[in-house]
Amino acid sequence: MSVPRLVVLTDRHQLPAGADLVEQLGRCADAGLSHVLLRELDLADDERARLARALRAQGIAVWSAHRMLADADGLHLPDPDGPHGAAARPAPRADLVASSTASSTASSVASTPAPPATSDRSWGRSCHHPDQVAVAAAEGAAWVTLSPVAPSSSKPGRVLLEPESLAGHAIPVLALGGVDVDNARRLREAGAHGVAVMGAVMRSDDPAAVTAALLEASR
């Protein structure tokens, strides 16, 4: 699959007062945004699926965070070593089936989010150390996000990755965490395939302008 240079992660709680998530992203689509990573993990999956349908109706490809949705185009799994790694797993589907054997145990099911064994849809994974990228690639991931790469107001105080950690990987790496118009080009020049952005777009009163600038910077 072709991994885009820009992916926007959703968080409706960061929207300007009175803004609607689908409308906000529709304005981004008008500026050229092609892919969204749909989070909204506090919502039930049927509500997330409704959002996925609404976004796809505007021409936006949707990657679903943690669990596959019927109307999503791909799946993005959490860091297996992170706080959500033990809990979030792909939902069973006819076209996205997690491997299972007679020897599987409850402890193995609860250990890490397993990549799909067979699927006609691509998947990726969140990584927080460059060594995890090679593991994800070996599992069959089509992309990863690697974070944090810059200070972030939503997650302050985190130890940042060095720019060189973005380069030299076997699969596309999307730089994530504190990414904005000012640093997107530097991250691409450091070796990232592209950037993944949340706050700079979600909080903007002019998301189309921010999206256009990010697309230009991440070319």
What is the tens place of the pLDDT at every residue in 58-69? 999 999 999 999
Do you find a cis peptide bond into 207, omega within 30 degrees of 0? no
Crossing angle for the helix pair 21-30 and 45-56, to the nearest 10 degrees: 30
Q: CA 51 to CA 39: how far, in whole Å?
A: 10
User: Given this model, what pLDDT does residue 119 score?
Assistant: 57
Return the structure tokens found at 48.
């997330």
66-93 tens-digit pLDDT: 999 989 999 999 998 865 544 333 333 3
Query: Domains in the chain and their CATH numbers?
Result: 6-99+111-217 (3.20.20.70)
- pLDDT at res. 147: 96
Q: What is the pLDDT of residue 96?
A: 35
Q: What is the model's pLDDT at position 116?
A: 67
Angle (deg, nearest 10), helices 207-217 and 21-30: 50
Find residue 62's DSSP bridge partners: 36
| DSSP state letters, 28-65 | HHHTT--EEEE--TTS-HHHHHHHHHHHHTTT-EEEEE
∠14-16-17 over CA atoms, to 5°? 110
153 vs 213, which has greater pLDDT?
Answer: 213
The model's pTM: 0.85
